[in-house]
Structure 1
Amino acid sequence: MSSFPAADSPSDSQKLVPFNVAKDRVKNELAGAVRDLGSSGEESENLSSLVRKLRALFPELMQLRGDQDATVELRDRQIHELSPYLLGTNTLIGGSAPEYEGSGPEPLENPLDEVARRMWEISVTEQTIERYKAQEQAFRDEILASVSAEHLPMVRWALSQA
């Protein structure tokens, strides 16, 4: 068993954001939203209403996307903070990391240990991002499974825009 709890269980992704929407309600709401678009000539003008409807119907999906975006920003910041250690510039300022401002754990004395710790943190963050992506895809698949084939392209597009 891994000593890193974030990597232990593939079922952790099921715990991130619960998808508690009744399938019948989703099917009816989506069918109504697509019907509201009107004729094919008006579809391009009214697709934004479908996007808004999807956002309102699936707050879990919107929350998941927000969490995923925040986690990606965290990973980018972690990579940026690792750069001085990889470049060796962390030793120019008395052996401490230039970006250390007391907000996180104090850097370790041995730069190699610090690089290993930071790489592990980035790895855990990457795993979280992958779980978010997998759960988002599961949400999308469940939503798309409830849509009739004729409306599938519109709903797929609207989901990508939502």
Structure 2
Amino acid sequence: MSSFPAADSPSDSQKLVPFNLAEDRVKNELAGAVRDLGSSGEESENLSSLVRKIRALFPELMQLRGDHDATLELRDRQLKELAPYLLGTNTFMGGSAPEKEAFEPEPLENPLDEVARRMWEISVTEQTIERYKAQEQAFRDEILASVSPEHLPMVRWALSQA
């Protein structure tokens, strides 16, 4: 059910991706990438090169986005596994028992205790998702702050596509 051990807590912010932004590197590389796009007539055809450049320049951002997506999938799976308890069936959805991972705890005997445990796991996952969102926004803000104003719209668009 959960890829986090039960001891995980909202204070696990050390697990987030470190982001070391060399502002000069970003300015030079992104400005060069935007210049490489050529004239405005060619921009629409070559914007994918800017997206690739951003992906290459900021692997930390790409890793964070991947971690965020994986955590969203975990939360969705946790919610799906909680549904039978909320519906009163107290059983796993058909066929999910063989998919059970070795480190996953056994369901508690008292269904209310099991619901409480699962709700706590979901809340921890939700807090992790919020931290990922905040850190990704901070990365984006730092990147955008280091870009020349004339390049801002293109870089903002490319960041959304990267």
Shorter-chain TM-score range: 0.7 to 0.9
* TM-score normalized with structure 1 length: 0.86
**1:21 Cα deviation (Å)?**
2.8
Over 3 Å counting, the alpha-carbon distance change for 1:99 and 1:110 in structure 2 is farther
Over 3 Å counting, the alpha-carbon distance change for 1:17 and 1:95 in structure 2 is closer
* TM-score normalized with structure 2 length: 0.86
Distance 1:27 1:158 in 2: 15
Distance 1:73 1:150 in 2: 37
Aligned length: 162
More helix by share: 1
Higher relative contact order (CA 8 A, sep 6+): 2
Deviations 1:106-161 (A, max 9, x none): 00000000000000000000000000000000000000001111110100000000
RMSD: 4.4
Distance 2:28 2:114 in 1: 54
| Residues 71 and 125 in structure 1, CA contact (< 8 A), matched pair in contact too | yes
Distance 2:111 2:161 in 1: 43
Identity of paired residues, percent?
Answer: 91
Over 3 Å counting, the alpha-carbon distance change for 1:81 and 1:3 in structure 2 is closer
Structure 2 stretches lacking a partner, 5+ long: none
SS in 1 for 2:142: helix
Distance 1:92 1:54 in 2: 43
Structure 1 consecutive aligned stretches of length 4 or more whose deviation exceeds 2 Å:
1-15, 91-103
